Homo-oligomer: A and B are copies of this chain.
Amino acid sequence: MTSIQENSRIKCSEQITEDIFRLTLHAPLIVSQAKPGQFVMVKTSSNFDPLLRRPFSIHDISTDGDLSLLYKTIGKGTSLLSTFTQGMNVDLIGPLGNGFTFSDNQNICLIGGGMGIAPLLFLARHLKALSKESCTHQVLLGARDHRELEPIAAQFLSLGYKTELATDDGSCGHHGYVSQLLPDILPTVQGVCVCGPTPFMAEVARQCRAANLPCQASMETHMACGLGACLGCTIHGSDGAYKHVCKHGPVFDANEVLWPL
């Protein structure tokens, strides 16, 4: 696994809702190595505040070397990022982490909540390209409301995926949690890939375990380096040992994670 420090150039920065942005960067070196589920560490400032890079999943890539991020502004780093404009440079390190694993003859359910949707588009594109004709994958996406969800869902639809939606306010799709759509789907798939808030992933993991289906979950923690050096990015493993998200993850077999009750 090779990671690269690349000075990418912004091709476009789109505002999707008041706090959700899509950033497209030309980063051909990183793109050439990237696998779905991996992430990049992004420098958001030219000075020391904020100090650390910020981790973001690779949302999508293009064959001509573009990489896109989908992110929500929640603090200093993401707010700064949202002010960046076309033509500016962004210092990236990536691709980092392990990524999702998949076989070419299984039906997979991709389920994402909130910004957890980000890594699933790249995964969907990849699965599409690799899977046998016979595969019928499923996409389930949840978010606060339709304004947040629809522009992103459109991308999955354009890849030809069956895509079901859920919103907290019922403004599109199912009114409620996206995990509530999962029971109907589980019997039709051989595996689940999930990303989103921890309680949501815990619920998805629980359903998969009950159905005896493999589930891969992409985890989030605070990271300083993303390189396996600082040992800051721990989560509790089900075996009682700590796991480092940047090195052992970010994608884990859901059974290896100690989920909060």
Task: Report B-chain residues with C-beta under 8 Å of the C-beta of A76.
Answer: 47
Most chain B C-beta atoms within 10 Å of own C-beta, residue among A47, A48, A50, A80: A47
Chain B proximity of A9: nearest CB distance (Å): 16
Task: Report B-chain residues with C-beta under 8 Å of the C-beta of A80.
Answer: 46-47
Q: How many copies does the complex hold?
A: 2
Task: Report B-chain residues with C-beta under 8 Å of the C-beta of A45.
Answer: 47, 49
Kindly state the separation between the CA atoms of A49 and B49 in the bound complex, as whole angstroms. 6
1/0 per residue, CB under 8 A from B, across A74-92: the answer is 0010001000000000000
Kindly state the separation between the CA atoms of A49 and B46 in the bound complex, as whole angstroms. 10
Kindly state the separation between the CA atoms of A46 and B80 in the bound complex, as whole angstroms. 9
Q: Which residue of B lies closest to A51 (CB)?
A: B49
Q: Which residue of B lies closest to A79 (CB)?
A: B46
Chain B proximity of A192: nearest CB distance (Å): 40
Chain B proximity of A54: nearest CB distance (Å): 14
Binding site secondary structure of chain A: loop
Task: Report B-chain residues with C-beta under 8 Å of the C-beta of A47.
Answer: 45, 47, 49-50, 76, 80
1/0 per residue, CB under 8 A from B, across A32-48: the answer is 00000000000001111
Chain B proximity of A253: nearest CB distance (Å): 39
Kindly state the separation between the CA atoms of A88 and B80 in the bound complex, as whole angstroms. 14
Within 8 A of B (CB), among A143-195: none
Q: Which residue of B lies closest to A48 (CB)?
A: B49
Task: Report B-chain residues with C-beta under 8 Å of the C-beta of A46.
Answer: 80
Kindly state the separation between the CA atoms of A47 and B50 in the bound complex, as whole angstroms. 8
Kindly state the separation between the CA atoms of A49 and B47 in the bound complex, as whole angstroms. 6
Chain B proximity of A50: nearest CB distance (Å): 7
1/0 per residue, CB under 8 A from B, across A57-86: the answer is 000000000000000000010001000000
Task: Report B-chain residues with C-beta under 8 Å of the C-beta of A49.
Answer: 45, 47-49
Task: Report B-chain residues with C-beta under 8 Å of the C-beta of A50.
Answer: 47
Kindly state the separation between the CA atoms of A47 and B76 in the bound complex, as whole angstroms. 8
Q: Which residue of B lies closest to A49 (CB)?
A: B49
Query: Interface of A with B (CB < 8 Å)?
Result: 45-50, 76, 80
Listed by A's residue number, 10 A-B pairs whose Cβ atoms lie within 8 Å are A45-B47, A45-B49, A46-B80, A47-B47, A47-B49, A47-B50, A47-B76, A47-B80, A48-B49, A49-B49
Beyond A45-B47, A47-B47, A47-B80, 7 extra complex contacts between A and B, CB < 8 Å: A45-B49, A46-B80, A47-B49, A47-B50, A47-B76, A48-B49, A49-B49
